[in-house]
């Protein structure tokens, strides 16, 4: 199949970027989207042009490294699919594709389609963990978890942190990401002791990174390759208000309060 690509090229952070047009011929419908870009890069290198920089790692849809906006949609047109798992049979012969990086103030472009997602790491560092010493492995039945909670925690834990939710949101909000991470731990017994402080510190970091607020567009859920539900955002809001309203002495101390 033949395709016309318009790819965002930007030499470095803070520099002016723009779309560059590439005509692709003989694209196999069995290629993945990233393989198609690999082929284009080989052609660019063959004529001593700078290849297109894009993030990728496992190419199995589980690592969260890849991601680009294709015709206005993060990870492209296929539901619940990362860019690496998107195949060219999803497009028709002669299609015109506009390929851009994630667009968000909190995700500055490093080069071409590569953005800096360090903001997500800093949100996790702010509270996305448990501090309890794991010690030796406990007997599996000593901490009982209800099956619906276990399943729900697993659904939240499916988040791979790719950032498509931010790219899809008109406000560039990271609420779905934060909600998934907060709920994943908040639904399990090990996450309870720090449940209140966790949600407060993670939301604070999210705001500090410059992500927008949630105004219930629901675009994040539609773009999420792991189909994380916005129900978790409701859970995040509940947890947040509960934590703020019923501050425990420990939470207050941490914020420099009256402890």
Partner 1 sequence: MSESLRNDGRIWVPKKKGDTRPPHQIPEEERDYYLERLYPSYGNLAPRDIASRRAKEVCDEGRGVGPGRGGHGVYLDFRDAIARLGRPVIAERYGNLFEMYQRITGEDPFQVPMRIYPAPHYTMGGLWVDYNLMTTLDGLYAIGEANFSDHGANRLGASALMQGLADGYFILPYTIGDYLAHAKPAKVDPQHPGFRHVQGEVDEQVRRLLAASGRKTVDAFHRELGRVMWDKCGMSRNAAGLKEAIGRIGALRDEFWRDVYVGGRGEDLNQSLEHAGRVADFFEFAELMCHDALHREESCGCHFREEYQTPEGEAKRDDERFGYVAAWEFAGVGKEPVLHKEPLAFEAVHLAQRSYK
Residues of this chain that interact with partner 1 (CB under 8 A) are 11-12, 29-30, 32, 38, 41-42, 45-46, 48-51, 53, 60-61, 78, 80-81, 85-87, 89, 110-111, 114, 134, 136-137
CB 159 within 8 A of CB 180: yes
Closest separation in Å from C-beta 137 to partner 1: 7
Radius of gyration of the chain, Cα coordinates, nearest whole angstrom: 21
Closest separation in Å from C-beta 241 to partner 1: 34
Distance between CA 223 and CA 185 in Å, rounded?
23
For residue 88, CA distances in Å to 26, 35, 84, 85, 106 come to 11, 9, 11, 10, 30
- Considering the complex, state which of residue 42 and residue 190 has its C-beta at the smaller distance from partner 1: 42
- Considering the complex, state which of residue 131 and residue 216 has its C-beta at the smaller distance from partner 1: 131
CB 53 within 8 A of CB 114: yes
Closest separation in Å from C-beta 123 to partner 1: 23
Distance between CA 96 and CA 79 in Å, rounded?
20
163 SS3 class: coil
- Considering the complex, state which of residue 50 and residue 96 has its C-beta at the smaller distance from partner 1: 50
- Considering the complex, state which of residue 163 and residue 212 has its C-beta at the smaller distance from partner 1: 163
170 SS3 class: coil
- Considering the complex, state which of residue 109 and residue 119 has its C-beta at the smaller distance from partner 1: 109
CB 220 within 8 A of CB 176: yes
- Considering the complex, state which of residue 137 and residue 140 has its C-beta at the smaller distance from partner 1: 137
Closest separation in Å from C-beta 13 to partner 1: 9
CB 157 within 8 A of CB 184: yes
Closest separation in Å from C-beta 187 to partner 1: 20
Closest separation in Å from C-beta 185 to partner 1: 19
Tokens representing residue 86 in the block: 């998107």
- Considering the complex, state which of residue 2 and residue 89 has its C-beta at the smaller distance from partner 1: 89
Cα-to-chain-centroid distance, residue 6: 23
Distance between CA 144 and CA 142 in Å, rounded?
6
Longest dimension (CA), the chain: 69
Closest separation in Å from C-beta 46 to partner 1: 7
Burial zone of 131 (CB within 10 Å; 0-12 exposed, 13-18 middle, 19+ buried): exposed
């Amino acid at each position: 199949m033949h395709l016309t690509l318009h790819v965002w090229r930007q030499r470095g952070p803070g520099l002016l970027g723009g779309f560059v047009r590439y005509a692709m011929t003989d694209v196999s419908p069995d290629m993945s989207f990233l393989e198609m870009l690999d082929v284009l890069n080989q052609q660019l290198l063959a004529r001593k042009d700078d290849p297109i920089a894009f993030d990728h790692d496992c190419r199995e849809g589980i690592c969260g490294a890849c991601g680009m906006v294709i015709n206005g949609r993060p990870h492209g047109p296929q539901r619940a699919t990362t860019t690496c798992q998107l195949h060219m049979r999803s497009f028709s012969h002669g299609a015109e594709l506009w390929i851009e990086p994630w667009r968000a103030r909190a995700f500055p472009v490093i080069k071409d389609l590569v953005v800096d997602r360090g903001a997500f790491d800093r949100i996790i560092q702010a509270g996305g963990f448990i501090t309890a010493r794991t010690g030796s492995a406990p007997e599996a039945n000593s901490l009982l978890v209800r099956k619906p909670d276990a399943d729900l925690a697993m659904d939240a834990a499916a988040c791979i942190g790719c950032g498509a939710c931010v790219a899809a949101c008109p406000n560039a909000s990271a609420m779905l990401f934060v909600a998934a991470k907060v709920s994943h731990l908040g639904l399990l017994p090990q996450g309870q002791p720090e449940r209140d402080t966790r949600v407060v510190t993670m939301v604070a970091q999210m705001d500090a990174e410059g992500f927008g607020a949630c105004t219930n567009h629901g675009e994040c859920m539609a773009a999420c390759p792991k189909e994380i539900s916005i129900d978790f955002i409701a859970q995040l809001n509940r947890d947040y208000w509960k934590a703020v309203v019923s501050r425990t002495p420990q939470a207050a101390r941490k914020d420099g309060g009256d402890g």
